[in-house]
């Protein structure tokens, strides 16, 4: 059984302050805990049912603590609407500025993404398109927010994320002719541009797009053109949809 | 002020049963109510602040009932976390099988999409890419669910949606060599296919993809290839991301 204190601890991981103080985050659901097990991430606690434990003998000795319990007990601790058979408390990796070789590599930079579902989806898109690094501005929603973790469907264990001063990062890493892309309503049709295999693709805030400070560092402004013939034109795409289309365009040949 | 009964009515529109009985749906937020005003949709009620009313004189005589009230009163009725200055009750359009000319037109078919955020985002993508019709299977989440409406960012007023037996629709409309596309893990690289400007693009359920029954009607199976080099490969893309990439591929030249 999960003790009252453990349940309290698990639920407190909904708060960024607690996550940061303890240096951990919460992972829920069978698939997600399977992802943790094979991720190489350091695990503080796994709580799961007998069935789940029997199906995953490889998790023995992997976590500092393993608690075999029942669904009722897991449901009590769970932040999910539909709790499953397993959850885990996982250590946050170091938040180091990554050594991204932007001469060969493409990375995403997030400028004030607010919605956890969007961030999780963007992680998943980056994972699919083989983008290994995402740089997040300091005002972007926390990647260890449980909603981000769940929406990432495991991508959080494969795509490295770093929180830093985005302006400095782009200024420093963008030196020496590294292209910096971003989508703008006044940009050039993405379908007609020749896109490089390296550089930084900036994605902007849900309501306001890319900030002025970051916009000034963008070397190539792109537009995903609308094909709408309706008299009332749509204003914009969701940022995760824009991320999907951009990644697709940068990778396809 | 909004009466107790009006507040009760507004909140009851969170339930599909009530929406269908009354033949209406709820629209919230300043931008969304602005979209309703210029949409041509029939409006039962607009409730808004004095400021909003003054800024939108064009809405007079548009709604059967116009209630000018304060933010507090709107907040009481609102289903949103951050209520704004206006909300509206709008009549659902007829659910007729549309006369889609699939010889010239591309439409989306949704096979059991469950998440309201995904459906709203798909509506927005269709709107952006000039796709006028979306056909929804009977088990797809209700398009008039408030979360779908809000996530659509107004696309719900421009993209026609129809709920029907998807199998029959594809069988009937797909006659005479109309191409039916769908994404499958065993499909062919979408980036290497020649895609037509007309036909049906099927999008499948979040967990299980396209159902067997619908899968048998697909004439061209597509794959959005992963570019991941990670030893633990990602399993799939979110369905709205896949929709964005598909629409982009069908429209770009």
Condensed to tens digits (0 to 9), the pLDDT of residues B80-90 reads 999 999 999 99
Higher pLDDT, A244 or A94: A244
**Residue A25 is assigned to a structural domain of this protein:** yes
| Percent of chain B with pLDDT strictly greater than 90 | 91
Q: Cβ separation of B234 and A153 shorter than 8 Å?
A: yes
pLDDT classification of A121: cutoffs 50, 70, 90:
very high
Same domain flag for A87 and A113? no
Mean predicted confidence (pLDDT) in A181-187: 96
Question: Are residues B230 and B123 located together in one domain of the fold?
Answer: yes
Please count the structural domains in chain A: 2
pLDDT in tens, A188-221: 999 999 999 999 999 999 999 999 999 999 999 9
Cα–Cα distance for residue pair B57/A253, rounded to 1 Å: 51
Instruction: Let me know whether B30 and B152 are in one domain.
Output: no
Mean pLDDT score, B194-200: 95
Does residue B70 lie in a domain region?
yes
pLDDT of residue B175: 75
User: Two tokens at A235?
Assistant: 């204003």
Task: Mutate one of B117, B228, B242, B250 to test the A interface: name it (highest A CB count within 10 A).
Answer: B228
DSSP state of B15: S
Helix residue spans in A38-92 (DSSP H): 50-55, 71-77
Same domain, yes or no: B222 and B245: yes
**Minimal Cα–Cα distance from A214 to chain B, Å?**
25
Judged by CB atoms closer than 8 Å, whether chains meet at B158 and A38 is answered as no
Closest CA–CA distance from residue B243 to any residue of chain A (Å) = 8
- Is residue B100 a part of any domain in this protein? no
Sort out which chain B residues have CB atoms less than 8 A from A241's CB and list them.
Answer: 121, 124-125, 128, 240-241, 243-244
- The number of angstroms, rounded, from the C-alpha of B153 to the middle of its chain's C-alpha atoms is 10
List, for residues B92-127, the tens digit of each pLDDT value.
998 887 777 888 999 999 999 999 999 999 999 999
pLDDT at B226 over 80: yes
Q: Kindly state whether residues B138 and B30 are assigned to the same domain.
A: no
pLDDT digits 0-9 by tens, A124-150? 999 999 999 999 999 999 999 999 999
Q: A106-110 and A133-136 as β-strands: parallel, antiparallel, unpaired? A: parallel
**Which of B98, B89, B105 lies closest to B44, judged by CA?**
B89
Quick check: B124 and A154 CB within 8 A?
A: no
* Residue span of the structural domain in which B39 resides: 4-91
Domain match, A85 and A123 both:
no
Same domain, A65 and A140: no
- What does pTM read for this prediction? 0.96
| Other C-beta atoms lying within 10 Å of the C-beta of residue A114 | 13
Which residues of chain B have a CB within 8 Å of the CB of A249? 248
Q: Examine the domain organization and report whether B213 and B115 are in the same domain.
A: yes
Burial of B235 (0-12, 13-18, 19+ CB in 10 A): middle
Angstrom distance (rounded) from CA B194 to CA A9:
54
Instruction: Give the pLDDT of residue A220.
Output: 97
ipTM above 0.90, yes or no: yes
Percent of chain A with pLDDT over 70: 100
Residue A94: the pLDDT is 87
* Residue that finishes a domain, picked among B35, B63, B91: B91
Tell me, rounded to whole angstroms, the distance of Cα A145 from its chain centroid: 10
Give residue A110's pLDDT band: very low, low, confident or very high (50, 70, 90): very high
Contact A226 B129 (CB under 8 A): yes
For A131, the closest chain B residue by CA position comes to: B228
Count of pairs with CB atoms under 8 A, one residue in A, one in B: 124
What pLDDT, on a 0 to 100 scale, did the predictor assign at position A1?
A: 85
């Amino acid at each position: 059984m999960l003790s009252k204190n453990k349940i309290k601890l698990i639920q407190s991981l909904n708060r960024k302050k607690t996550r940061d103080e303890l240096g951990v985050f919460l992972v829920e659901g069978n698939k997600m805990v399977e992802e943790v097990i094979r991720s190489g991430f350091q695990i503080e606690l796994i709580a799961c049912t007998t069935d789940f434990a029997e199906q995953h003998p490889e998790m023995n000795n992997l976590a500092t603590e393993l608690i075999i319990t029942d669904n009722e007990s897991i449901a009590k601790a769970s932040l999910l609407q539909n709790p499953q058979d397993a959850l885990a408390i996982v250590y946050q990796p170091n938040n180091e500025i990554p050594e991204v070789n932007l001469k060969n590599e493409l990375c995403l930079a997030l400028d004030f993404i607010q919605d956890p579902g969007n961030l999780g989806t963007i992680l998943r898109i980056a994972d699919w398109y083989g983008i290994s690094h995402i740089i997040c501005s300091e005002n972007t929603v926390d990647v260890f927010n449980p909603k981000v973790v769940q929406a990432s469907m495991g991508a959080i264990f494969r795509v490295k994320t770093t929180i830093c001063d985005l302006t400095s990062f782009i200024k420093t890493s963008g030196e020496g002719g590294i292209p910096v892309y971003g989508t703008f309503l006044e940009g050039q049709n993405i379908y007609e541009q020749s896109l490089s295999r390296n550089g930084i693709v900036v994605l902007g805030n849900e309501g306001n797009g890319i900030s002025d400070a970051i916009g000034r560092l963008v070397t190539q402004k792109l537009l995903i053109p609308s094909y709408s013939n309706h008299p009332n034109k749509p204003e914009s795409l969701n940022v995760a949809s824009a991320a999907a289309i951009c990644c697709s365009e940068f990778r396809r040949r």
